Structure formats: structure tokens, C-alpha cells
Structure 1
Amino acid sequence: MKAYTTYHLPLDLPEGHPFPLYKYRGVAEALRGLLLLEPAPEVPKEALFLAHDPLYLERVFREGLSRKESLRLGLPFTPAFLRRALHAAGGTLMAALDALEEGLGLNLAGGTHHAFPDRAEGYSLFNDVAVAVAWLRRRGFSGRVLVLDLDAHQGNGTAVFFGQDPTVYTLSLHGERNYPLKKERSDLDVGLPDGVGDGAYLRALEEALEKAGAFRPALVFYNAGVDVLKGDRFGRLSLSLEGVAQRDLRVYRFVKEVGAALVVVMGGGYNRDPRLTVEAHAATYRLALSSLA
């Protein structure tokens, strides 16, 4: 089984910046020997133009982002950052093709769900899932798609991308008072109070999956953010490692029950203990292998 990774791509960050660059290498190393790790390829520009606003893309490639736009992004715009974003989106696209062929596709990056059709936001330059869906549609895939977003933050960009698409169901389970301040409308939004632990979270997830199951998706994109862990710098929820594992197992059981193919993308994770971030992410992929591969 192969997985795509961007850990080999450098990125210079200001000293003390909270972006968890360490986790991409750490997760890849934790899974080495269990998966065939392949460098994520650059996404075809044609795929980007199928999803994103052409004027936005042309400006990004021609001149980058303004200082104001970089502040909204939360990262300095550099050629290295653009390259990583292109390859992260390429990893999700390739994982989607793998999923349709083999039932499971894995990207050890991606989950950039705050990117809108015409703007960058929240560490997200391109919306990798929206780009992958657009590419699959162009290649003739017509099945129903579920975007299951269990990152601690609402997938606001994803909600906008698919807001008028009846063939894609967006489900976001997130902190109600967390970023983004202005929530967009998913097909199903489940906002949770700060500090929610394992029990309440898993009950809410079970109810949400039951509703999503009625959609009968053929393909599921799982944004498996681990910023739901207690101690995350930005997550504001309080799941344990075991709680995150139970979350993942419920998702994989759901996928088997509905008979869908699955793409797993990494999503957020910013724990004050970097080892917990790496451990939780790696466990998500191990469980996917043991449950579905």
C-alpha cells in the first residue's frame, strides 16, 4: 500500500511560527516500512483551474499573495510554500485515484479545507479535496461524494465549494466557538462546545454518521485532523489518544458499512507536545490499513 508525502519539500518559517512542519517528516518516518512512501507529485494546473477561480490562480502564479492576503493565510507566501501546496494537492488527487482503484488512498498531507474558490485562508492556498473531486469528475467519475471533516475547525472553504452541488455532501464536526469566526453552511454542521471529551464527541459523531449514511456515498474524503486532542494549541477540544482512535475506527466502520472507497488526508494537529501530534496522525493511517486495506 502506498501513501504520498511532502516531507521532503523544504519550507522556511519565521522563528517561533506555530505551523507544525515537523509532523510531515515525523509521520512519514513513523509509517516507514508499513507503507510505500512516494513523494507527492505536483498537481496538474488543469485540475486547479477546474476548481478554483481562474483570476485567483493566475494572480497566485504571476505575483503571489499580498501582505494582507498572507496574513489571512497565516503563512508568508514564498516559492517554497507554493511548491508544497501544489504537491500536497497532488498527493490528494493521486490518493483519490488510488481509492477508486483499490478502495483506499492515503495522503500524508492535505486537508486544506479553509481555501475558498477565490482566496487563501488558514494555512490553505488550494482546497485539495475540491481540486481532486473536480479532476475525478473530468475523468468521468459520477458517484456521490461525502467530505467528512473531523478537523477541530469548520471546513468553511469546502462548504462554499460544494454548497450548490447535490452530488457532494459536506459534514463538519468542529468546535463551535473556534476558528473560523464566520462559519459557512455545510450540508451538516455539528458545532461542539469548548472542552468536549471522548464520550460526548463520539456520541455526536455517531449521530452525524447516521445522517450522512442516508446519502449513500460512493467515495469518502476523510479530513482526519488530530487538533481535537487535549493540549492542542488551536483545537480547544479535549479528546484522548484513545478517543481519537475510536473516532477513526467509527469512520472506517461507517465506510465499510456504506461500501464506499476512502481517501484519508491529514488535516490539522498542533499539540503542545509534538510527539502526540505525530503519534495520533500515524495511528490514524495505521488503523486505516488494518481496518480497510
Structure 2
Amino acid sequence: MARLPIVHHPDYDARFSPVHRFPMGKYTLLMNALRERGIVERASLHRPGPAPSNWLGLAHERGYVDRVLTQRVPRSIERLIGFAVDERVARRASLACAGTVLAARLALEEGLACNTAGGSHHARFEHGAGFCVFNDVAVAAQVLRAGGEVRRILIVDADVHQGDGTARIFADQPDVFTFSIHGAKNYPSAKETSDLDIELPDGTGDDAYLERLADGLDTALARFPDPDLAFYLAGIDPHHEDRLGRLSMTDEGLSRRDEMVLKALRERSIPTACVISGGYSRDMESLGRRHAIVFGVAETFV
């Protein structure tokens, strides 16, 4: 039986206070949920090291990279990010980028792989924002392209918030196609222009969401055929219990969404790296279990 490659590092959890607005403990709780479901036992586990600074500099301004790695990020930028960039946060951000690079390389070898972190899509070239320090998918895309491992990359972003940082980084790069399906009235208030944007009204539920997603996948794959690699940002913040989501999806709807995306990509033999992206429920245990959904779905495609 084929084994799903899973990338994880314990230091993805930077040990924030349980009452912090960003639910940092979800990375530990996700692994607990994967163990409870037997997914870890059936998977092949991989641990990244920190990303080299030259990797990070392929997607971010070098001065900003240096300020993160030396914990000298200005307070004005930390306010945009939403938390202070201390040593644990800097290490976590670097590890998550390396984890997404590793997941992408495993996907090229095995067809599909998942990182238990990643999806920090609000970070832009100049600085971080919206709980995102570095844009791990952008870093991974640039590392693999610079090394000649891939040329054409499709990014399918199903986080409830637009992937504005990713759209900005790749705005003038025709070999990277950005597709974002997100809440129309949610963060960020000023949207960027992805290669394909689908904006959803508040309260959108499973069936309406999935109908729009199916149309979007068809459009994206028609406009950008035969990518060498895809990244899938499987955010769970479209869920009706999410405190930042404003949509009305269920656990079943999220599972159907993940199956729709992965089926569309795997039917076309597109290697796919999954990252977990956003999720902000106040019930931390359910948050961990909900992030585990995409891993359970991914198992069925290996």
C-alpha cells in the first residue's frame, strides 16, 4: 500500500498563549488528530530543517528576511503581521517554508504530499501581514523554479481569505497561475488581482461553494494546462464555526471540497503539495480534527 508523505516539525508550534488571537497550538493538535485517526501510522513522515536565507530571499526582500532571522522586525510590520517576531516565531516561519519545499519535492517524487503547516499567503515580497511572516508557497515555488525542478506552477488557494500576497509576488510571472476562492467581504479589505479570483458572499454553504469551485477548477485548468506542480491551500476557515470565516461550510463540505480539488489534479497526473493554511475556531480540539480532513482525503489518492 502506498504511503502518504507527511512533512512535520514540532517547532511549527511556536507555543503562543492559549488566549492569543492566532491559534498556534493547532499544529500540535493536528498531529494528535492524525495519530488518533491512524494516519501518522500509515504515512511516511519527514522532518524539515530551517530554510536557508537565500531560499527565503527568492520570494522576499532580502532586508526583510534578515530582520526576521535576527528578530529585528519593526513594530509597524509586527502590527501588520499580528504578533511579535521573536526567536520561536522566526524559527517556525523558516521551518514552515522548508517544509513546503520538502512537501513539493516529495509530491514530484510520489505524486502527492502534505505539510502540517504552511499556506501563509498574505506575506508579500516586502514584508509579512495577516498572521503570515514568510510566504512559504511562494518560497517553495521560487526555489523549485530556480533549481530547474519545475517550470509551470498552479496554486489553488481555498483559504477563506484571498491569497493577496501570493497574487502580488507572482503578478508578472506567466509560468505561475494563482487561483483564489474566498469571501468577498473578508480580509484583506483591498484585494489584489489573482490570475483567477472567485469571490463568495457571506453565508455561502457547501453546495453553492462547491458549484463555484468546480467552475473555477475547470477554468483554471483550461487557462493553465499541464502544470508541472500544484500547491493546494486547504484552509478550513470557510467552516461555519470559524470565528474569522463568515461562510457556512460543514466538515462534510470541506471533505467534498478537498476531494474535488485533489481528484481534479490527480486525474491529470499533476503532482500536488498540500498545505493547511487558515483555521480559527475557538474550539481547539475541533480545529485540529478539521485540519486533519485534507490528510484523510489525500490518503485515498496515493
TM-score, with length taken from structure 2: 0.92
Moved more, 146-155 or 279-288: 279-288
Asked whether the equivalents of residues 15 and 25 of structure 2 are also in contact (C-alpha less than 8 Å), the reply is: no
TM superposition shift of 1:99: 0.8
Selected match of 1:121 from 129, 141, 145: 129
Moved more, 269-278 or 118-127: 269-278
Q: Secondary structure at the match of 1:50?
A: coil
Alignment partners' CA distance in 1, 2:87 and 2:33: 28
Alignment partners' CA distance in 2, 1:59 and 1:112: 18
Alignment partners' CA distance in 2, 1:88 and 1:15: 21
Does 1:108 find its partner at 2:132? no
Q: Secondary structure at the match of 2:41?
A: coil
Point out 4+ residue stretches in structure 1 off by more than 6 angstroms.
none
Equivalent residues, number: 292
Selected match of 2:195 from 187, 200, 212: 187
What is the letter of the counterpart of residue 264 of structure 1?
C
Residue of structure 1 equivalent to 2:143:
135
Asked whether the equivalents of residues 6 and 24 of structure 1 are also in contact (C-alpha less than 8 Å), the reply is: no
Does 1:260 find its partner at 2:270? yes
Does 1:172 find its partner at 2:198? no
Residue of structure 2 equivalent to 1:88:
96
What is the letter of the counterpart of residue 180 of structure 1?
P
Alignment partners' CA distance in 2, 1:231 and 1:108: 21
TM-score, with length taken from structure 1: 0.95
Alignment partners' CA distance in 2, 1:116 and 1:263: 20
TM superposition shift of 1:231: 1.1
Residue of structure 1 equivalent to 2:6:
3
Moved more, 138-147 or 92-101: 138-147
| 1:10–1:145 CA distance, 2 compared to 1 (3 A) | closer
Residue of structure 1 equivalent to 2:25:
22
Asked whether the equivalents of residues 239 and 248 of structure 2 are also in contact (C-alpha less than 8 Å), the reply is: yes
| 1:278–1:78 CA distance, 2 compared to 1 (3 A) | same
Does 1:99 find its partner at 2:107? yes
Selected match of 1:280 from 269, 272, 290: 290
Selected match of 2:53 from 41, 45, 51: 45
What is the letter of the counterpart of residue 107 of structure 2?
A
Asked whether the equivalents of residues 28 and 37 of structure 1 are also in contact (C-alpha less than 8 Å), the reply is: no
Q: Secondary structure at the match of 2:107?
A: helix
| 1:129–1:81 CA distance, 2 compared to 1 (3 A) | same
Alignment partners' CA distance in 1, 2:49 and 2:114: 13
Residue of structure 1 equivalent to 2:86:
78
Q: Secondary structure at the match of 2:54?
A: helix
Asked whether the equivalents of residues 71 and 90 of structure 2 are also in contact (C-alpha less than 8 Å), the reply is: no
Unpaired runs of 5+ in structure 2? 35-39
Residue of structure 1 equivalent to 2:37:
none
**Post-superposition CA distance 1:151-182 (Å, at most 9, x none):** 00000000001100101110000001000111
Alignment partners' CA distance in 2, 1:112 and 1:29: 22
Residue of structure 2 equivalent to 1:245:
255
| 1:258–1:8 CA distance, 2 compared to 1 (3 A) | same
What is the letter of the counterpart of residue 249 of structure 2?
L
Alignment partners' CA distance in 2, 1:281 and 1:246: 14
What is the letter of the counterpart of residue 86 of structure 1?
S
Does 1:150 find its partner at 2:153? no
Selected match of 1:205 from 199, 203, 213: 213
Asked whether the equivalents of residues 232 and 269 of structure 1 are also in contact (C-alpha less than 8 Å), the reply is: yes
Asked whether the equivalents of residues 148 and 223 of structure 1 are also in contact (C-alpha less than 8 Å), the reply is: yes
Unpaired runs of 5+ in structure 1? none
Alignment partners' CA distance in 2, 1:87 and 1:242: 31
Residue of structure 2 equivalent to 1:220:
230
Moved more, 44-53 or 216-225: 44-53
Q: Secondary structure at the match of 2:21?
A: coil
